[in-house]
Structure 1
Amino acid sequence: MDKQTTKNYETVKKYIIDEMCKQDKVFNYLANRHNLAGSYADNLKITSPNEFDLLIEIKLTKFFVTARIESDTQKPGNVKINISEILKKCLENDNTKFVWERLKKLKDDNDYLLQDKFQSWVQGILSKINLHNSYFESQGRSFRLKYTISGPAHTCHVTTEPLSFSMDLVPAVICKSDQWRAKRNYPKEHTSLYWHAIPKPIKEKAGQSNISWQGSYADFERTIIGNKNNLKNTCRILKKLRDRQNYNHFKSYFIKTMYLWECDMQPPEFWNRPVSELVIHMIERWIDYLAEERLPFYWDKDCNLLERGSWGTMCCQLKQVLKRLKGYYESEPGKILNIFLDDDEISKLNSSAPISVVQSEQEEVKIAASLYKHTFLVIYESGDITPSPKLNTVLQELELFPLMQTKQHENIHEF
């Protein structure tokens, strides 16, 4: 990610969040933090930096009580959020009655948070700052913004000559370990991490309230796929294959999910195998999932990510791709990389730097830290960046070294 793009992203992010806080005092009170999410945070992005995912966390634990999180038995992988105790606490204090006034408009008669009302609230705030075809200047640059909404994401399309990029702002309710509702057991080795409830729209019957929120476990997933040598390089190659074949409906998260399941099935040293061998293995897995038309959600296997869609054509085409790749592997293994990567990418792959990090260690650290300190800490904890004297020097330059020492010795997680 080049420095100018990083700077532009930071400028627009700060502008939007600051304006949202100015426009709505409840948002200003409840908005906890905002983190880079998606492929960049996972270090799995394969293209130039033109799309960013920004998770805006809403904290409902500021009232000495927490929301009651319940599993949605009708929608595997989803949860329901009951805020009855929070509403009571808000009314007990004159300083938080303004929060009660807002929250009571976002719930149903049984005090369950309605995700469509929640989304409308966020959309209303963004409308107040007039993101649609708006314009602002900062640090000598002009930024033109255009706003759209799709699914749980509020997308801001940014143009600042000669560059353009988009930001997906995804609001989410932050949840703690004692609110864990995934069917997979809570990973006790990562007690400092949090999960989120995402207001992803789902089709409801006429007149039926939408109280079902999608569980999201990105921080945990980052630790699972981290520090696995060639895992991320093969994942990037599969994403390139997906893009070249125009399999746009097979989402990046589906590919990531295949790797999460494979981490369960394989020992850590499995990912030390040659990239070409791992690519063939993972395409075989991909074909298996397509043939069964079933890819279970990692955190709740009753949820099938491939439930919707037709996968037969993709499955047949991938079988032909696999046949050709196996032929190359038997005669000239290195040719597989040439199919997917250009010379510069292959050079980086074969460099002396750790294979799991495409950019240099120092550049990776500075990029992660400049985007958001929390994101950097999660990447560091995942093992993708190996501790070293050079790394400690960079941490000191970025004023992160004391924070890392605190986390290592006290094992705490900053909110």
Structure 2
Amino acid sequence: MSGRRAKKTGVKDRQYVGIEKGLSIANREFISIPADAMEVTRKITEVIVRYIVKLMREESPAFDYLYAEICGGGSAYEGVKICKPDEFDIDILMRIPSIAGPVLLESNIPGYVKLRLDNFHRLKQKNLEVYNVMQTFVDEKNYLLTKSMKGTFMQSVFDRTMKRFPKNIIPIGTHKFRIKRVQSLGPALTLTLEGPHRFQVSIDLVPCIVLDKSQWPGEGFKRNPCADPELQDFLVIPKSPKRDDPHIDRYWRLSFQRQETSMIFHKQWLKPTLKILKGVRDYFGQKVSSYTLKTIFLWKLKSANPDLWQLPLSYCVVHMLEVYSECLFRGRISYFWNKKLNLLEDLSDQERSHYHGQIESLLKELKDDPKPESILKYFNLDRSHISSSLWESEKKA
């Protein structure tokens, strides 16, 4: 990822400072989620998920045997969620018994791996029930299968558990929450819940396999940049590539979310800048995932002077919009952990060109006329949407 290196704050770094007040208003009125609202919603969500998982463990001894813990991930847990605290990604972590001899194998598809149990037969001697259940998502060559693990195994345990909730009502303390909808989307089981006081959230429950540092992928993948002993494990998730392959269910996607969360922590303007880019993406309706946008920042952390994030927010925003525009022009945002995988590969040339034009148009406006209104319009905000007292206070600030 190319781009200018950060320097000491000077005239050039402050050339877009005219949009600072606009960024402040956009952040306050549109992007930021009140900390107390996020905290309360997250706690309620976690209580509900823990209760569901507790009953799943009671329902299936095999699931209980494999289960390790739940772990929050994604934007809501990294501090980069925007607008509303209404979506949460929660990983259900499981460990394959060491006696089964799990071995991580690199594949011919960048960013994906296979997981084979070289001593699967030994599990039969130690725990016949778990062995029989795991046979539903282990093939004849002892490879773990993504669709079967999520669909046949996890889905069935979840469905049996739901029968314990009449009318899909989950009692938590004195409150009742209703599972309005359950969908199987990608690697996740997505639950839509509603409850008292207009509570409504979407929860992605993602079954994951935890692997330790001895299994860290080799050639083609980055080494672990985190020395913290708590950040040595990594995950594989049941997400297969969109390819024609007779054994496509053998392919698993890697996840290094704990390492990524650590990497973007305590970088002054990094998270606010990322949230601004997410807001711009949403304004234009661009089909670019939040993870793909975050990946641009992971690459920038590797290539840029760390002082970049201490420069004015306006400079960081314009700079990262330039980097994003360049990526769209080239049609490539490489997966941080294995650069052979292009995270923009699902976009058509027409979509990429259209998105590039949108960002270039925004950049031109910010550079030609760097004032608050120039950025506010991209958040469905203008002076008519903002109280006069707020606008005046910002002008005086």
Structure 2 length as normaliser, TM-score?
0.79
Q: Please tell me whether the aligned partners of residues 102 and 117 of structure 2 are also in contact (alpha carbons under 8 angstroms).
A: yes
Aligned to 2:70: 34
**Alignment partners' CA distance in 2, 1:57 and 1:164:** 25
1:191-244 CA deviation, whole Å, 9 max, x = no partner? 431211010133454743510000111011112111211111101111111111
Q: How does 1:157-172 map to 2 (within 5 A)?
A: 157-161=192-196, 162-172=198-208
Q: Please tell me whether the aligned partners of residues 104 and 215 of structure 2 are also in contact (alpha carbons under 8 angstroms).
A: yes
Q: Looking at both structures, which has the greater relative contact order when contacts are Cα pairs under 8 Å and sequence separation is at least 6? A: 2
Structure 1 length as normaliser, TM-score?
0.76
**Alignment partners' CA distance in 2, 1:79 and 1:201:** 10
Aligned to 1:22: 58
Aligned to 2:175: 141
Offset of 1:335 from its aligned partner? Answer: 5.5
Aligned to 1:227: 266
Q: Please tell me whether the aligned partners of residues 63 and 89 of structure 1 are also in contact (alpha carbons under 8 angstroms).
A: no
Q: How does 1:333-412 map to 2 (within 5 A)?
A: 338=376
Determine if the alignment matches structure 1 residue 268 to structure 2 residue 301.
Answer: no
Q: 2:133 aligns with which of 81, 91, 102?
A: 102
Q: Please tell me whether the aligned partners of residues 138 and 145 of structure 2 are also in contact (alpha carbons under 8 angstroms).
A: yes
Q: How does 1:91-240 map to 2 (within 5 A)?
A: 91-93=124-126, 96-120=127-151, 121-130=153-162, 134-145=168-179, 146-161=181-196, 162-181=198-217, 183-187=221-225, 189-193=227-231, 194-203=233-242, 205=244, 207-240=246-279
**Alignment partners' CA distance in 2, 1:71 and 1:288:** 31
Aligned to 1:390: none
**Alignment partners' CA distance in 2, 1:228 and 1:284:** 19
Q: 1:302 aligns with which of 318, 340, 356?
A: 340
Offset of 1:115 from its aligned partner? Answer: 0.9
Aligned to 1:69: 104
Q: 1:81 aligns with which of 88, 100, 115?
A: 115
Q: How many residues align?
A: 338
Moved over 4 A (4+): 334-344
Determine if the alignment matches structure 1 residue 258 to structure 2 residue 258.
Answer: no
Unmatched segments (≥5 aa) in structure 1: 348-415
What value does the CA root-mean-square deviation take over the aligned residues?
A: 2.4
Q: Please tell me whether the aligned partners of residues 237 and 340 of structure 1 are also in contact (alpha carbons under 8 angstroms).
A: no
Aligned to 1:385: none
Offset of 1:308 from its aligned partner? Answer: 1.2
**Alignment partners' CA distance in 2, 1:257 and 1:4:** 29
Q: Which amino acid aligns with 1:327?
A: D
Q: Which amino acid aligns with 1:84?
A: D
Offset of 1:71 from its aligned partner? Answer: 0.8
Offset of 1:187 from its aligned partner? Answer: 2.2
Report percent identity of matched pairs: 26
Unmatched segments (≥5 aa) in structure 2: 1-35, 391-397
Aligned to 1:319: 360
Question: CA 1:83–1:103 in structure 2 vs 1: closer, same or farther (change >3 Å)?
Answer: same
**Alignment partners' CA distance in 2, 1:299 and 1:4:** 34
Question: CA 1:317–1:259 in structure 2 vs 1: closer, same or farther (change >3 Å)?
Answer: same
